[in-house]
Every structure is written in structure tokens, then in C-alpha cells.
Amino acid sequence: MTNYTLRQLADYLSADIDSSNAGLTITGIAGLTTAKSDQISFLSGPSYLKYLPQCQAGAVMLRPEDAARYQGAKLLIDNPYLAYARLSKLFDQSHDKIERSVHPSAVIAKGVKLGKNISVAANAVIDRDVVIGDDSIIGAGCYIGPNVCIGARAQIAANASIYHSVVIGDDVLLHSGCVIGADGFGFAPDKDNRWCKIYQLGSVIIGDRVEIGASTTIDRGALEDTVICDGVKIDNQVHIAHNCRIGENTAIAANCGLAGSTSIGRNCTLAGAVGIVGHIDVTDNVHITGMTMVTKSITTPGSYSSGSSAIDTREWRKNAVRYNQLNEIVSRVKALENDRNK
């Protein structure tokens, strides 16, 4: 267990201490309703103010303007939620007991270059001419194909698969079951409507500080590379097709699907289950809400939505019937307008 004094946490966050308890020992982080006297909590927004009076935390991270609302020990900082995110790294113990060695059951091919302080877990397979940077962790059952290059401090979780010639930057985290560099969906019909496979000759290039969720798939390019730029965060069960490009610091939530040759700009967010058709561009600083279907390029920053919210089933059925009648209704309205204008 990792322990810190409140003063150490304040220094780490560059926060102000509004307390005489600078020496208080903190052993972890918890929510306002569950935190104990040796844990620190945080107020992330006004909707959680109602939980402050009963909070049992040893200390709470608050914005300065909220300091008077809590009488216990506190750290004052402009963005408590960001502070919580930064502290979570200090208390993460997921890799504390990982042995930095190569397990006897791992298969390491000829020509592989492993950096310093590497961990390769049981039954991992590392194919020929792979390069892996210092301080990286390769989980149990991973497959890393020929000519892959992985940077420093990578964490490749159990059973992830990385196909040949993929390039991955520094400080990248790939969660279990993700597949990087599988073939894109490329087929050409012949005269008998049989499908001729288009072999995917590109690769996948992943930048620094990228995180890719469990069971997410990123296809290799057909001719050029699929590119995931620095700082991109991708949730679980996302599919990114061949030749897509995802700009710096864009975040993509679960169940999104991007068709081939889609380009997403910098600092965008795609909420859950967004679908984007192929061969379009989305500019920087675009925020797409859940279940939206994007069918044409977006050239102006802002928030975009489509679809409809859940309503009573009987009302939805009535509206569905009316939706199918829209073309007829529009034609009738136009005919009435034409008659009126004669």
C-alpha cells in the first residue's frame, strides 16, 4: 500500500492546503459517499454538493470558491476532477508486482531487440526483428508480429495482438484483446460477383501517449498507413477501418465505428456508438454526441447530433408512420403552395 501525507499530495498537485493537518496520512482515493478517514475525495461538480456534509474523507479536494462549504481538511485547486485524475496515478498498484523478466514460456524469435527493464509474461510470442523500448511490459499471451517497433514504457495487456510492421510510440497502453494491424475490409467484385481480395499493403502508425481499449480493432491501411496521432484515447470495442487518421488528443468512446479513409481532426470527442461513413473529413474541435450518424464532412468546429431520444413505444410507432409519409406530405404542401401562388 502506498501512503502520502496531505502536504506531499498538495505539493504534487501545486494545491493550497486549507488545513492544519498537513501531516495527515492518505492511503487512497474514494468518492464522497464512500471515502474513509485515511482517504482523499474530491468535489467534481455542483450536483455532488449535497454529499459534502456527510463526507467522512480525511480530506477533500475543492475549488477555492467552495472552500466554505466543507469544514474538514481540504486541498484547494481550480480543477478537482483533473487533480483526482493526476492522483490516481500515485495510488495505482496494478504494476507494482510485475517481475521485470522474460518468462520461460515466452517465445522470442531471432533478431528481436528488447530494451532495458523489460517484462515479457507467460506464453507471449514475439516474432522476428521486433524492437521494444525500455521499461515496456508485454502481457501474457500477447502476439507481436514481425518487424513491429514499440517505444519505451509501453504496456501491452494480456492477449493483445499486433500484426506485422506496426509502429507504436512511447507511453502507449493497449488493453486486453485489442487487435492492431489486421487487414482492412477490402474486396473488389469480378464479373461473376465473386469477391477478389485487396491485400492490405499499408500499416498502422500509433503516436505517443495513446490508450486503446479492450477488444478495439484498428485496421492496417490498404496502400497508405492508418494513423493514430499523439495523445488519442480510444475506448473499448471501437472499430477504426483502413486508412483512417485520428488527430492529436481526440477521444473516442465505446462502440464507435469509423469507415475507411475517414479523417478526424485534433481535440475532437466522439461519444458512444457514433458511426462515421468513409472518405469524409471532420475538422478540429468537433464534439459528436452519442448514437450520431455522420454522413458528410464537418468543416466547422462545434457540437453535432443526430437520431432521437427514447419515447413511449406507442408514440414512437405513430411517429415512425409519419416519418414514412414525409415525402408525400412535402409534395402535397408544395402543390398547395403552387395553387395559392397562381
Residues acting as catalytic residues: 242
Alpha-carbon distance of 82 to 44, in angstroms, equals 9
H or E element, residue 54: none
Please provide the size of the chain in residues. 342
| Max intra-chain CA distance, the chain | 89
CA distance between the termini of the chain: 84
H or E element, residue 264: strand 263-264
Residue 268: C-alpha distances to residues 12, 210, 236, 287, 296 (Å): 29, 14, 17, 6, 16
DSSP helix/strand/coil, 329: helix
- Crossing angle of helices 313-324 and 326-341, rounded to 10°: 50
| Planar angle of CA 97, 102, 104, nearest 5 degrees | 110
Alpha-carbon distance of 96 to 174, in angstroms, equals 18
Alpha-carbon distance of 89 to 5, in angstroms, equals 16
Q: Nearest to residue 215, comparing CAs of 260, 266, 176?
A: 176
153 phi and psi angles, rounded to 5 deg:
60, 30
Amino acid letter for position 319: N
